[in-house]
Structure formats: structure tokens, C-alpha cells
A and B are shown apart, each in its own frame.
Chain A
């Protein structure tokens, strides 16, 4: 697609309702200047990767926006049809690359359900701890870089600095900072190294302190509030019908968290945690909800460490994994939202069809509706607050 072609598809029509505030903004009505098509992306600091937003602007207001995705489409669903189950785990690590451990969990869980085996309790606890650590890692980055997108240079560095501690923990346990590939069908690859538990306790204290710093530096800042309050409001019901999930939906007041409300998985039934919602549904509430969830994740990790059972970390699983015929759907509360795998198996060593339901795909699909009538700087704030990862959108 050339950058200057005018999209002529019906979906790009100007919504008359959006003109209501434009009429207020025009000072001189006789000056009927034409609209400008601006191409934000695919290389742009605000779009978090290769997302391309073709926006039609009138001055600084967006009249219509059309996200163009697929610059990072790797064809995962086709690839999974040619892989064995352990090989698929390596692939799906890379869907949401900031919290990669969390991507593996639903798929491995689905395979275990079809095979009717259960990972031992210690493995479940360690899986939960690593999932929550990935959540903390990705949220710390979010807390920092949303400040950066809004203009404050400093929170980004604090976010990265504190995230390093968590990544070191994940590396110590799994061997990889970003793509641990640590889950196996039936359990985990290895047990925890010596000293990991005490080190994690220290790091959780650092994380809780970092959250306080972000609360002071970013949340309390009047300019940040002016930039994010009432920007990009998602009504709860509309968000649900678009499939918006995770912290984005909870920030619109919908009290739904799969860790508490969905089918029980991992060690969450044993944990005592709070789910945060915010009534406003704007960018500020999405930041606030994620800040609270970071704190809550740190507390959950401490609970997990206190209650870590002893025992094996791998169930009895045959060498060559053949999953019996059947279909399974497992959905988990990943940092970006709800991630689900619909696995169709025909009894072979690899899946027949895997439908990957990724959270950011649905989160971003609401952008054409949400970006009408906002200013260009608000586009950046909204993109930052939705917090999507391109690998999650494009698979």
C-alpha cells in the first residue's frame, strides 16, 4: 500500500457525529480547508512496534483512524500445524515477548487437559510465581514508558532499571530473560536454583518501592493527569463487545479477572488477592489499575514463596508426547489481557489446529471507534494506555 493512497473502503467513512466538536473548534467556518492524511507508522516511536495508523486529520483533530496491522505477522496458526507439542511451546513464547512465560501456560495447560495429566503442585506454584514475575516485568515497563509517551523522560529509565531485577530472577530460574521456554507438558524443565526464593523476596520489596516512586512521580503529576484524564474512554459494555480484556476492561469498571473468576488454573485458587477496577475507563484509570496490579502481583509472589510445596516438578509423561483426540479451550489472565488457546487434537504428536486468541488483537480493534475526534497527542496517550504488543496483535 502506498503511503499516499486514499483508502476508499466504506469502513473509512467520516462519522457525522464526530463533526459535532469539530464545529466548535473551527474559528473561521469559511476557511474550509481539506483534510490531511497522516501515516503514523509503521516506524514510529508511539506505536510500540510495527503498527501503522492511517489517520485523517483536520488540523490537530482526528476525523477517522484506520489501524493497519500485519507487519509482524508470522503465521503462527499455520506453523503450529507442522510442529509437535513441545515445539509449539517454543513458538508461542514469542507472541507477547515482554511476558513470554505467561504465553506458554495456557497452551501447556490445554495439552495437559487433553492428556488428562496434572502437573504436580510444586510445578504449579513455580509456574504461578514465574507468571506473576512476568506480569511485574511487563507492567514495570508499561509504568515507565507511558510516562515517556506522555513526555516525561525520566520514568522510563526507572521502569527499566527496576525491571532488570525481575529479569535477573527469571533468568536465574529458567535460563532466559525474555524467552524462557521453561514449561513442559506435565510440569517444568528444572527446579528452582538455590537461593532463588530469598532473592525473590528482596526483589519484591524493590518492586513495591518502585511502585511508590511511580505513584509519586507519574500519577501525582498534574500534567500527567491533565493529559490522561477523560482521554480515550471505553464504556464497559462496548469494550466487552469488542473483546477488550484485562486491565483495559477492569479500568472501565467491569469486575472480571480470570485468575479469580475463570476456570481454576495454576495455583491461583490457593492465593488471596484483590482485583482492582476503576469506574472512569480513561487512560488514567488504565495506568492506575496496572499500577495497583503490579503491587498485587508482588504480594502474590510473596504468598507463593511462603506456601511453596516440596515435591517433584514433572508428572509422569511419556517420552514422545501424543495427545489424545479432543478439543480443549484454556483461557488465562495474561498481563496484556485474556489469552486463550483452542487446541484441536486428532491423536497425533502435534496439534491439528490451534486457534490463538491474543489479547492485544481485540484491544487494538477498538481503536477506529475510540480515536474519532481526539487530538493527535491524545492518540499517543491512548496507544500507550492500551498497552499492546505487536507480536500479540500480529501473531
Chain B
């Protein structure tokens, strides 16, 4: 702790934090996209995926795709609302960046240690709905409009199970701050044994499942990808976007996947913490541990994505309102009772 106690000017610190966030989103998108979308999906479908770009198993594929997108023609449809059309991808991506502000990667490695960290993260993640609606409406394309309206209904509906799943964790941890939640897991004990701390996935197993399902819906991934239903709407609300703007959507999609995986890892698996490791070692190992945990969660999310067919819009809504929310409420009630009683 003392060896690294260097006084960094406030401005420099802000700059470093900004750079870190700006870098981590595309990087996360890249790594998740490559590992899961290109390689894991291919192997599950008994094919190899990209093998040539970059030499070793095509690791350069996505970066090459990014460069390709940058140099593509920027086509704005004739009847589209130009300003809204241009602004929409930015809004979607901004919400991704904002989530990473509160995700801790170590005891001191957090951009902003908000007391209402969880509340802030969930609030900010729902900004992307506005971006999606803007994209669908401004595209002047009926397919995009259908996709955007489906997205709006779906994303709003699934906010609730997401929230309620997290409420259980908050009740158990006693704090909304993400650092606090991680500490509660790290220093907690299961029936007196503190060998692995108290990862909330054990007690909040229902909450974990609900969070995963709701996150899958928030990311508009199969089985909840009605807004982007590939075989019906081709790309749904993104259909008129080309080049750099589409790249924004792509980064937004996978960046948000990284963010949600990181949130799930933080809330349920203990985040950056390994029980018993504190101080400088935690600062150094923290990011790695977090990455390992979030890759595990992302593995589950993407595995479901490539296996299941998609639910129809009304079935999707029925699932959210009639099944997930009641279960989530029951979970919250039980957690609260146990927390107060024990």
C-alpha cells in the first residue's frame, strides 16, 4: 500500500481514467467478440471460424473488420432524419462507456466509487433504449421501425427482472456500492468458513439466473433477439447503418455484453477479489481475476445465444411479466426476511 502511494494530480488522474474507459470498451468488445462469437460459436457449429488473418487462428479478424468498417461508404437513406440518424449509435455507445465508470477492477482501481454504484449502473444501461428507438425511427425503413419498437418494449420489460435480481444482492450486502458488495463477498463467510469468502451466487442463485436471463434480453441476444431477428428483419433497427456507424453499434453490443458480464461477476462471483488477498497484490491481480470471472459468465451467455431459437415478442413479454418478475419478487422477499431474521 505504501510503496505505491504516489500523489497523482487530479487532472492527470482524470485523463488516465478517461483513457482507460475509452480503451476498455473496444478492447472488451474485441476480446469477447473474437473468443465467443468467432471461435466458440464456430467450434460449436463444427467449423473452424477465421484461421488466416494474423496467422494464429485468425486473431486479427475483428481488428481487420474494424478497419474495414472505417473505410466503408457512409450511406444515409434519402428520407432519413440525418441528425437523429447520426446521433443514435453515439447514444448507444455512450451508455456502455458510462457503465464501466463504476465497475471495480481492484480495491483502488475504480473510476468512481459511487455509493449508489449499482443504481447508477442499471440506470445508465437503460439509456441505450433511447438510442435504439432513435435508430429505428430515423432510418425511414419499416423493418427498422418494427425492430426498434420491439426493442423498446423488450428492453423496458426486462429492466425489472434485472433490477429485482440485483436488489436481492443489495439487501444481502447491505450496500449499493460495488466496492462494498465485493468486500462483502470477499470478507464474508459461509456458516463460519471463510475459505472462499461468500460469493453471492451461492445464496442468490435464483438472482444470478434471473440476472443472466434479463441481461440476455437487455443485450438483445437470442433467445431474446426479436429486435434484431436475423431471419426476419435482417438487422432490425441497425439495418440502414453502414461503416463507422455500424461499427459503433457493434462495439456497443459487445461492449455492453462485457459490461454486463463484469457486473454479474462483481455482484455474484466476487468481482476482482480472491479471499485472503488484499492490498497491492489485489491491485495487481484484481483485473486478471475480474477478466477470468467475466469470461466465465460471458461463456454462459454466448453459449445460450448459439443454441436456442428466439422467442416471439408476445412470448418474450409473457416470460418477463408473468414468470420472471414474480420469481424475482419472491426472491427479494425471501432475502429480506432471511437478512432481517438471521
Contact = CB atoms under 8 A, between A and B. Distances in A.
| In-complex A–B contact (CB below 8 Å) | yes
Interface of A: 36, 38-39, 44-46, 60, 147-154, 157-158, 161, 217-218, 221, 223-224, 226-227, 375-380
B52 interface: no
B142 A375 contact: no
B314 interface: yes
Contacts of A152: 222, 307-310
Given A154-B44, A223-B223, A380 B310 contact: no
Nearest to B314: A375
B47 interface: yes
Given A151-B223, A376-B146, A226 B311 contact: yes
- Which applies to chain A's interface (DSSP): helix, strand, loop or mixed? helix
A25 to B, nearest CB: 9
B46 A227 contact: no
Contacts of A221: 308-309
Interface in B36-68: 41, 44-47
B226 interface: yes
Contact of B229 (A147, A151, A226): A151
A155 to B, nearest CB: 9
A148 B306 CA distance: 11
A151 B231 contact: yes
Interface residues of B, number: 28
A151 B142 contact: no
B283 interface: no
Interface of B: 41, 44-47, 142-143, 146, 150, 222-223, 225-226, 229-232, 234, 306-315
Contacts of A60: 146, 150, 313
Contacts of B314: 375
B310 A223 contact: yes
A158 B45 contact: yes
Contacts of A380: 229, 231-232
Nearest to B232: A380
Most buried by B among A39, A44, A147: A44
Given A226-B312, A377-B232, 19 more contacts: A38-B143, A45-B232, A46-B231, A150-B231, A151-B230, A151-B308, A151-B309, A153-B41, A157-B45, A217-B307, A218-B309, A221-B308, A223-B310, A226-B315, A227-B312, A375-B312, A377-B313, A379-B232, A380-B232
A45 B313 contact: no
Contacts of B311: 223, 226-227
Given A376-B232, A377-B232, A150 B45 contact: no
